[in-house]
Structure 1
């Protein structure tokens, strides 16, 4: 039996090639709001408008999760924390830095965005990783890390591993160092089938090399269970780490209501084992397709083959309309591989997926 006033939604803001999400959990007159990252910036006004449209008494941010230090996630987060109105409604910020437990203290840090965020967090006193008693947010080597955020609503930390977090701490970048490692494999988006055709069977049946970026592999990834429904927020994590964590702490094969496609759909972050073992009603892709031309056809092809083999009919949700996203809207593909597409309207600042179900 569902609790009263049950709501569960995920909103994806148009954050260019980055990501900014808002998760709402409501049940039995309780609410929990989670904001994830801030894109490349320029979203303060949009977020204020979004909050103003929530019911009175729910216009707050219980947790602001800043997953990692790449600019397409962290620059907008800094702007949000610098805004007095938004800062005032944030109760806790989850962010990992070299200052936290598991590392020796570091006093002379130079990476611009990471340092700027840490300076802001130091002024927020007890609002930095509060629910973790000030410790780093990492997937532990032994035993699941589950944090109850309200009745029947639990967050499980699935990444980064302690090893990946320690690796970033040791290699925290210096002045001028590129914060997002370039993809080593960038084959053409199109295939031999023609200008706009995707050979789903061919692309989806093989794996490419996994993501080796120390920045992406330090991403905080979580599983959020809200009563009978759940979501996987993967940020820029890579497939093998997520699968290992889910096998131990969530169960495998895994079933969620919504999953964000890792690293905006990069071919290096979702592999066959993950696509074959993870069932999701909705797959959310956050990007405008700039830069690396995400989502890569290989990545979504793997998911499509996995869902077809299981007899599912998932919905792919895109928060921007662009070439790489619209390529999946062909009726022939959808009929042959049994999936649905949904896109944010051009005039809207965000798209919301209602997971409340029945």
Structure 2
């Protein structure tokens, strides 16, 4: 058995990978969306499985709040539980590249002051700090700032739970080229983020930056730099998980670490589309070089993702169809004038022989079986 449950995740990601013995499967949890996703989708999902659910590996792809908050809530609930309580999950290992670790600034008091101020604003229901960074149309800086504070909280939770250190990597970052074997014969090859990028960020890190400059640096760097990209392999089946990584970075990682030849296709059973299908992260060339039997898009139309252009590039790259698309939710574009073009892109894909499915409104997840 090898399958993926794509949970409702609003505008974020939330995936549960299951493999091995169908009667007693192993599980991996990747991200858990923004506010509301944990209590609406993930926790009821874990209840249905029978708590506590054994999780071999939980992973935050990067610190955006639309990926991290649910796992912060899960680990907080585990910490708050009384000895007699049944916790939602028992996590064996956790992978998380925090912003402070990426910048080499874990003990930097200036960085800590930024994280503290963001965390205090979130916990107190106050307006987010550093107002000048909130003018982006897609609220990207606001999401980064929220993730920065939540990342600090998650890091503290992991230390208290004894899950820090990115086992089995000896307390170092989860970077391209590292490999791990999980019980039940799941092999993981990390192809991003690149060690070169991490080194560059550390070299450019200035401990004298003021809080607003740190937040701006996070906004420009963290989304493209820190997303963990990995190939999961079980019994010959492959899944490429991408977080919010950029397509060119994904291709570079596959070329350097997974044996892909530049310009030549590499095929997977499942590809989790980067950054909710944003056209800022991929292009037609990406879809020509990285193909899959099933493409998973995690979004609900927030920020108009998946972009119509992304689906049009996928169609142009594979005009013959013969593949599947799975959406974590029904897509209702945030700006209604963009809905007709999106619907037209879907119809064109279906007309070419593409099978399209979405999680039904009342379901916790939609399953992809490999």
Q: Tell me the TM-score normalised to structure 2 length.
A: 0.75
* CA offsets 1:263-309 (integer angstroms, 9 cap, x no match): 0011111123321011211111111111x21011111211222222x
Larger CA deviation: 85-94 vs 18-27: 85-94
Cα distance in 1 for partners of 2:206, 2:224 equals 13
The question of 1:266 aligning with 2:278 is answered yes
Conserved in 1, the CA contact under 8 Å of 2:269 and 2:293?
Answer: yes
Question: Does the C-alpha gap of structure 1 residues 161 and 174 become closer, same or farther in structure 2, counting only changes over 3 Å?
Answer: farther
Structure-to-structure mapping, 1:1-358, within 5 angstroms: 7-27=1-21, 31-45=25-39, 46-54=41-49, 59-84=53-78, 86=87, 89-97=90-98, 100=101, 103=104, 105-108=106-109, 109=112, 110-111=114-115, 112-139=149-176, 144-150=177-183, 152-167=185-200, 170=205, 177=215, 181=219, 213-252=221-260, 253-290=265-302, 292-308=303-319, 311-324=320-333, 327-328=342-343, 332-355=347-370
Helix, strand or coil at the partner of 1:132: coil
Shift, 1:130, TM fit: 1.5
Cα distance in 1 for partners of 2:289, 2:247 equals 11
Conserved in 2, the CA contact under 8 Å of 1:266 and 1:294?
Answer: yes
Question: Does the C-alpha gap of structure 1 residues 343 and 118 become closer, same or farther in structure 2, counting only changes over 3 Å?
Answer: same
* CA offsets 1:86-107 (integer angstroms, 9 cap, x no match): 5750111100125648836524
Helix, strand or coil at the partner of 2:55: coil
Cα distance in 1 for partners of 2:22, 2:8 equals 31
Give the count of matched residue pairs. Answer: 311
Helix, strand or coil at the partner of 2:362: coil
Shift, 1:313, TM fit: 1.2
* CA offsets 1:231-284 (integer angstroms, 9 cap, x no match): 010010001111111123323321111111100011111123321011211111
Question: Does the C-alpha gap of structure 1 residues 79 and 237 become closer, same or farther in structure 2, counting only changes over 3 Å?
Answer: same
Larger CA deviation: 22-31 vs 218-227: 22-31
* CA offsets 1:92-146 (integer angstroms, 9 cap, x no match): 110012564883652422332221111112212255412212211011xxxx322
* CA offsets 1:160-201 (integer angstroms, 9 cap, x no match): 1123334555379975737984xxxxxxxxxxxxxxxxxxxx
Cα distance in 1 for partners of 2:100, 2:312 equals 40
Cα distance in 2 for partners of 1:174, 1:62 equals 39
Question: Does the C-alpha gap of structure 1 residues 75 and 226 become closer, same or farther in structure 2, counting only changes over 3 Å?
Answer: same
Helix, strand or coil at the partner of 1:123: helix
Question: Does the C-alpha gap of structure 1 residues 221 and 134 become closer, same or farther in structure 2, counting only changes over 3 Å?
Answer: same
Cα distance in 1 for partners of 2:230, 2:331 equals 28
Shift, 1:338, TM fit: 2.8
Shift, 1:44, TM fit: 3.5
* CA offsets 1:31-80 (integer angstroms, 9 cap, x no match): 43111111013333432332343379x92111110111111111222111
Helix, strand or coil at the partner of 1:131: coil
Helix, strand or coil at the partner of 2:168: helix
Conserved in 2, the CA contact under 8 Å of 1:51 and 1:60?
Answer: no
Question: Does the C-alpha gap of structure 1 residues 307 and 100 become closer, same or farther in structure 2, counting only changes over 3 Å?
Answer: same
Cα distance in 1 for partners of 2:225, 2:50 equals 37
Q: Tell me the TM-score normalised to structure 1 length.
A: 0.77
Helix, strand or coil at the partner of 2:270: strand
